């Protein structure tokens, strides 16, 4: 039987999932890796940890399944995270700077003050923010001794995590990315489908550093024969949120999905039209096939599943993520504890990188249960902000159901609160590994193993649908509490 291997390289762990010819999960492996926080608001990874955990989990998944034939590899990855490496040695010149990192916030403010913001948004669909890759690359070139001279000499390569993995998997034979990852760098013109020379020059980033940009389903080379026993073609690549959009079969304009991993990311398919947002959302590429981009509106929340990690690792009030649901269920409903988890700033639609987290409504009786409930509710509230902004921007006949996936989507309590607070249907698919599934489908359909988009959409299966149960009055009251808490948080941080 022919199989497809999906690499899902995330913010806190790397996973490899082996899918069979019917797109069922055959085996999987996962490894966490250390997070590095050199200063407040700084987040880094050791690029060698990313590579080592990917290689190890791929081997483990293949071995668990009995070493079957693997026809192709699909890659999905944490986006915006930056790696710069030496083309000759393959060694990174600095730790990877993670998408959550805020060290370039002051430079972003300078760019806005100098009047560059509108030009950058018009070309890239993105707002000027430390979240994206461009200012991170500039920081490395400016702060690593000799890096700028080496880059200008053509000795250094830049890539998001997918490019770094492709380089290592192919033994340095291929330096490439796909359109969805390129669209998250703040260097790529999403309308002309090419790197923007103007923006690269503005940041002082040599064009020679940049990877070749390809479709999501394309030839990205083959793996070194020694890695997995034989060379395997890499034929699918997409950033994690775009891969989840594909995995959720959101192929029609108006379809929406929201993924709950470390952060939360909602995408609304807008078809072949890039919609400029008036609500500070991002205009991005949902996927690109046969040279044709399909666009999306995206809202990004920096802290979703990470708030549960904070309960576990920071406050130590839980030992496992699954403990949050029974805690939330036992919370005192008369307490209205509101948590604004701006640990690394507020994302869409506020874009306040200087903000930090805040808790409102604490009483002497507030305890672990109330904090767990507030943590889960904070994800629903933040999703509400995104969907309200999308509804204001999108004039199409959008579908009302929101398709959800990611680790937190497994919590019935959290998904019911999400449905209640947004006042809309929330659909959870039978296969919740939608990010890896999207990467696998991109790779498998190019190899002729999986069906086309229409056939894939027909295979999407519902696990559970959540319907709003909260009264309109209570929903309005809770929404107002959230808005006031956010504004108070912004006021303190301003």
Residues 425-439 pLDDT 10s: 999 998 878 999 999
Q: What's the mean pLDDT in 152-161? A: 96
From the list 205, 211, 185, 247, the residue with the least C-alpha distance to 4 is: 247
Give the model confidence (pLDDT) of 392-406 as tens digits. 888 765 556 899 988
Task: Please list, residue by residue across 137-155, b when 16 or more beta carbons sit within 10 angstroms of its beta carbon and e when fewer do.
Answer: bbbbbeebeebbebbeeeb
Q: What's the mean pLDDT in 443-468? A: 93
Handedness of CA 403, 409, 414, 415 (dihedral sign): positive
Q: What's the mean pLDDT in 344-356? A: 82
From the list 386, 316, 298, 371, the residue with the least C-alpha distance to 341 is: 371
CA distance 299 to 257: 11
Residues contacting residue 93 through CB under 8 Å, at least 6 positions apart:
84, 85, 86, 140, 144, 147, 150, 156
Give the model confidence (pLDDT) of 360-391 as tens digits. 999 999 999 999 999 999 999 999 998 888 88
Give the model confidence (pLDDT) of 207-253 as tens digits. 999 999 999 999 999 999 999 989 999 999 999 999 999 999 999 89
Q: What's the mean pLDDT in 328-336? A: 89
CA separation (Å) from 445 to 9, 102, 246, 287?
Answer: 21, 38, 12, 14
Give the model confidence (pLDDT) of 110-150 as tens digits. 999 999 999 999 999 998 989 899 999 999 999 999 999 99
pLDDT at 144: 95
Q: Tell me if 250 sits within 8 A of 403, measured CB to CB.
A: yes
Helix (H) or strand (E) holding 434: helix 434-446
Residues contacting residue 358 through CB under 8 Å, at least 6 positions apart:
339, 340, 342, 485, 488, 489, 492
pLDDT at 396: 65
pLDDT at 48: 97
Q: What is the phi/psi pair of residue 424, to 5°?
A: -150, 165
Residue 315: pLDDT over 90? no
pLDDT at 397: 55
pLDDT at 1: 58
CA distance 47 to 85: 10
> What is the CA 345 to chain-centroid distance, rounded?
16
CA distance 418 to 395: 23
What percentage of the chain carries pLDDT values higher than 90?
74
pLDDT at 131: 87
Handedness of CA 162, 168, 170, 174 (dihedral sign): positive
Q: Which of 197-201, 417-421, 431-435 has the lowest mean pLDDT?
A: 431-435
Mean of all residue pLDDT scores within the chain: 92
CA angle 255, 420, 355 (to 5 degrees): 85
Burial of 305: CB neighbours in 10 Å, binned 0-12, 13-18, 19+: buried
CA distance 47 to 195: 24
**What is the pLDDT confidence band of residue 491, given thresholds at 50, 70 and 90?**
confident
Instruction: Give Dmax (Cα) for the chain.
Output: 64
Give the model confidence (pLDDT) of 58-85 as tens digits. 999 999 999 999 999 999 999 999 999 9
pLDDT at 302: 80
Q: Tell me if 299 sits within 8 A of 347, measured CB to CB.
A: yes
SS3 of residue 282 by DSSP: strand
């Amino acid at each position: 039987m022919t199989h497809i291997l999906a690499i899902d390289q995330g913010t806190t762990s790397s996973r490899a999932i082996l899918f069979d010819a019917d797109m069922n999960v055959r085996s999987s492996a996962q490894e966490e890796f250390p997070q590095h926080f050199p200063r407040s608001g700084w987040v880094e990874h050791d690029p060698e940890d990313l590579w080592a955990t990917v290689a190890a989990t791929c081997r483990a998944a293949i071995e668990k399944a009995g070493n079957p034939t693997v026809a192709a590899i699909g890659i999905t990855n944490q986006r915006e995270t930056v790696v710069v490496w030496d083309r000759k040695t393959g060694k990174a010149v600095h730790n990877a700077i993670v998408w959550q990192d805020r060290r370039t916030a002051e430079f972003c403010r300078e760019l806005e003050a100098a009047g560059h913001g509108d030009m950058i948004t018009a070309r890239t669909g993105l707002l000027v923010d430390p979240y994206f890759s461009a200012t991170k690359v500039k920081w490395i070139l400016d702060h690593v001794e000799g890096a700028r001279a080496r880059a200008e000499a053509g000795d250094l390569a830049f890539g998001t995590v997918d490019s770094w993995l492709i380089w290592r998997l192919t033994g340095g034979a291929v330096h490439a990315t796909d359109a969805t990852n390129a669209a998250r760098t703040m260097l790529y013109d999403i309308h002309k489908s090419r790197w923007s020379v103007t923006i690269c020059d503005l940041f002082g980033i040599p064009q020679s550093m940049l990877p070749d940009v390809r479709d999501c389903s394309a030839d990205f080379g083959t793996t070194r024969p020694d890695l997995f026993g034989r060379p395997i073609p890499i034929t699918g690549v997409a950033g994690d949120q775009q891969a989840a959009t594909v995995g959720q079969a959101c192929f029609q304009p108006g379809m929406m999905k929201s993924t709950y991993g470390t952060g939360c990311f909602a995408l609304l398919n807008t078809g072949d039209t890039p919609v400029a947002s008036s609500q500070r959302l991002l205009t991005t590429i949902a996927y690109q096939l046969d040279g044709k981009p399909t666009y999306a509106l995206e809202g990004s929340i920096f802290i979703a599943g990470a708030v549960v990690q904070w309960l576990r690792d920071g406050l130590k009030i839980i030992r496992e993520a699954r403990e949050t649901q029974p805690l939330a269920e036992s919370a005192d409903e008369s307490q209205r504890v509101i948590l604004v988890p701006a640990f690394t700033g507020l994302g869409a639609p506020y874009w306040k990188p200087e903000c930090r987290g805040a808790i409102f409504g604490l009483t002497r009786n507030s305890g672990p249960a109330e904090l767990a409930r507030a943590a889960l509710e904070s994800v629903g509230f933040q999703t509400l902000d995104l969907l309200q902004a999308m509804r204001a921007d999108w004039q199409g006949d959008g579908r009302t159901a929101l398709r959800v996936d990611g680790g937190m989507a497994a919590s019935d309590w959290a998904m019911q609160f999400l449905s209640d607070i947004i006042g809309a249907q929330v659909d959870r698919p039978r296969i919740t590994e939608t990010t890896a599934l999207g990467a696998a489908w991109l790779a498998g359909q190019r190899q002729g193993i999986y069906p086309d988009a229409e056939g894939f959409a027909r295979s999407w299966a519902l696990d559970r649908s959540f319907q709003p149960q909260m009264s309109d009055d209570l929903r309005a009251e809770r929404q107002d509490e959230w808005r006031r808490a956010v504004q108070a948080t912004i006021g303190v941080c301003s």
